[in-house]
Amino acid sequence: MIGSEEFRRLWLWSEEARREVRAARSARLADLVSRVAEEIEFERGLLVPHCPRGENVPSESRFRLLLERSPFAVNVVARDGTSLFANERWNELWGLPAGGVPGNVCSDAGTRRAGLPPHVQRAFAGARTEVSLKLDGAGRPGGPTGERCLRVLAYPIPATTGDGHREPESVREVVILAEDISARALLERDLARRAFHDEMTGLPNRSLLLRRAEEALRRGSGEVALLFLDLDDFKQVNDSLGHAAGNALLVEVARRLATSVRAGDTVARYGGDEFVVLLEEVSGPQEAAGTARRMLEGLRTPFLISGRAVTVTCSIGVATSEADDREPPCPELLLSRADDAMYRAKLDGKDRLSLSDPDASRTDRSVLPLPQSLDGQS
């Protein structure tokens, strides 16, 4: 099974690959726009008919052939927004009848719902625009359904004088090229989710936790607290009930912990039976300790796992970003302090919390007591 760290690296690689693909696609779009602009000029008789382009066919036929063979949905729009040329991919994308002539893109219900008209207007003002849009696909009889992601390029084509020279400040038409990237966007979202979330519990993983903690510390709008939780004697659950039951228990613990925090806080699975909670904008250690006590109390209620009532407790270490002139707070430092505090809670008898003491030396973890069995016998 691929771990979260591998998924994180895969997601970062996909981001780099996507940038390269986007650059290549942009080059293809620019080439297509250049050819469309050339054909429009040819249509007006501004290019000599024996230019090296191949087949001796009427210019309009050649132009429509170019559009129909394009992998993109293409529409050439006049200044009033009406369509001059469009291919069938355009009709398919917007749910228009096959073989029909698109109407005014600035007043069409589908394009307005997707937010396309403002970008077309900017193109008529001379700005080449490349944007990502969302289309809900609703309200068009027989058209595609469900939300779709579109990548759209609106490219201005300058007007030309009688001798064939362009007038850059005057735009005669705009070429709109659109691509349905829904499948790619869904894949990217899935990769991002797997890269920064624990696959079993659905909680944020260590990478996302540290990122959010760093952002919270950077904002500096209040103290930040990290709570390090370790389930007490969890190994005995796996040994007595099996790993499937142990995994089911971890999922239920994750759900219960998530209900113990505020909407803006983060509950993350750190690894194994360890969880870390990020509390933002707390008033101090006592507020963070109050949240930790609620979690302790919430976990004491038995879980129903594989038809059996299973009781589990945890030890919690609490660290906050109080001013420390020696070591400015950072996510890794807070995490280390919370981890140390959690082990002190273990040494003090488990099923309790311990506040971090920056002056304390690192706990000697070799003196931890031996675990007890589920029925409390050594």
Indicate the pLDDT class of residue 72, thresholds 50, 70 and 90: confident
* Helix, strand, or coil (residue 146): coil
pLDDT, one tens digit per residue, over 26-64 is: 555 555 566 665 555 544 443 334 344 444 444 556 666
Closest CA to 75 of 173, 215, 207, 166: 173
Per-residue pLDDT averaged across 1-7, rounded? 51
Residue 284: CB atoms within 10 A of its CB come to 12
Q: Which one of 198, 232, 265, 273 is the catalytic residue?
A: 273
Distance set, CA 372 to CA 155, 300, 378 (Å): 71, 17, 5
Six token digits for residue 228? 């390090």
Percent share of the chain, pLDDT over 90: 36
Please report the pLDDT score of residue 272 as a whole number.
Answer: 93
pLDDT score of 140 more than 70: no
pLDDT exceeds 70 at position 117: yes
Whether 138 shows a pLDDT value over 50: the answer reads no
- Mean per-residue pLDDT for 69-83? 85
Reported confidence tier of residue 158, pLDDT bands at 50, 70, 90: confident
Long-range contacts of 289-294 (CB under 8 A, 24+ apart): 289/318, 289/353, 289/355, 291/225, 291/227, 291/260, 291/261, 292/227, 292/316, 292/318, 292/353, 293/353, 294/260
User: Is pLDDT above 70 for 98?
Assistant: yes
Asked if the model's pLDDT at residue 279 lies above 70, the reply is yes
Q: How do residues 316-365 score in pLDDT, each as one tens digit? A: 999 999 755 556 788 999 999 999 999 999 999 999 999 998 665 454 55
Written as six digits, the tokens of 269 are 């699975």
Supply φ then ψ for residue 176, to 5 degrees: -110, 125
Q: Is 240 left (phi over 0), alpha (psi -120 to 50) or beta?
A: alpha
Cα dihedral 60, 62, 65, 67 in deg (nearest 10): -70
**Mean pLDDT within 6-16:** 52
Instruction: Verify whether residue 273 is a known catalytic residue.
Output: yes
